[in-house]
Structure 1
Amino acid sequence: MAIDYDGGLTCSMGVASLDASIAWYQDVLGFTLLYRVDEIAWCELSTAVARVNVGLGQREAAGGAGGSTLTFGVVNIDAAKAELDRHNVRQDGPIRDIPGMVRLLTFYDPDDNALMFYQDLSEAHG
C-alpha cells in the first residue's frame, strides 16, 4: 500500500519561549501565526511556501546542534541577508556560492535552530 500524501508539510522545532519565538518568526522572517495552543505550548505559522508551515513547541532544552535544517528559497539572497543583518541575526559565515547552481546562507533563530536561505542559480530558474 502506498502512502497517500496530502501535499502539506509542517516542520517542527523546539523553542525556549513561545512568545519570543512567535515574535521573532513574524518580525524577522515574515511568517504569519495560524494558531496557538497554550495548553500544550504549541503554535504553527505559515510561510511564503504554499502548504509549508513551521510548528514551534516550547521545551526546556530547545534548539542547538543536529536535526533538520529548514531551507527556504528566496529570489534575492543578498536582500534576504540584509534583512537578517537589520535584525542582528547570527549567521554562519558569508553567503556561499556554488557557481551555476545555488547560493546558500545559514543563520540561527534565538534558540540556535539552524535555518537556511537558498537562491537557485540553475538555468531552470535563471
Structure 2
Amino acid sequence: MFKPGVGFHYNISNLELTLSFYTEKLGFKELYCDANNGQSIVTTNTEDCFIGFAEAQPISPSSTCITFEVENIEQAVQNLQQKGIEFKGGIIVVPGVVKLAKFFDPDGYKLMLSERIIQHF
C-alpha cells in the first residue's frame, strides 16, 4: 500500500528567506520552485524525503518537528552555527539512546538534529 518516502509540508511567510535557509544553511537541494505562487519543494539527503513550502498568512508553527539524523552531532552543530543557525538549549543526551539538538527555521518551525547512540531503534 505505501511506498518508501516521506514528505512534509509547511506554510511559510517568505519563500526566498525559507529557500535560503534550507538550501544555503542546511545544504538541501531545490527540487521545484514556483515563485509566482509562493511554492517550492526541497529534497534532503535522505532518499525520497522532501519538504514542501507554500506562502500563507498567518503562520502558526506546530509543536511537531522534523528530525535530521547526523553521524556526529557536535560537528553538525558547529558547522550550522558557523552558518548563523542558533541552537536552543545545547545538546540534550538521552543516556544510551540518542543525542538531540534543537533549532528553528525562519518561521519558527522546530527542527532537530539527532545522533543515535543505541544501535537499533
Structure 2 vs 1, CA of residues 40 and 8 (structure 1 numbering), >3 Å: closer, same or farther?
Answer: farther
- The alignment's TM-score, normalised by the length of structure 1, stands at 0.87
Provide, for residues 43-62 of structure 1, a one-character-per-residue CA deviation record: whole Å limited to 9, x for no partner. 11000111010111111222
The two structures have a TM-score, normalised by structure 2, of 0.91
What is the CA RMSD across the aligned residues, in angstroms?
1.6
Please point out which of 86, 91, 94 is paired with 2:90.
94
Report whether the alignment pairs 1:114 with 2:110.
yes
Q: Which residue of 1 aligns with 2:77?
A: 81
The alignment status of 1:43 with 2:35, answered yes or no, reads no
Q: Which has the higher strand share?
A: 2
1:32 equivalent in structure 2: 29
How far 1:100 moved relative to its partner? 1.1
Task: Give the unaligned 5+ runs of structure 1.
Answer: none
Q: Within 2, Cα distance between the matches of 1:56 and 1:124?
A: 32
Runs of 4+ in 1 over 6 A off after TM superposition: none
Q: Secondary structure at the match of 1:53?
A: strand
- Alignment partners' CA distance in 1, 2:81 and 2:22: 15
Structure 2 unaligned spans of 5+: none
Q: Which amino acid aligns with 1:44?
A: I
Percent of aligned pairs with the same amino acid:
24
1:83 aligns to what SS in structure 2? helix
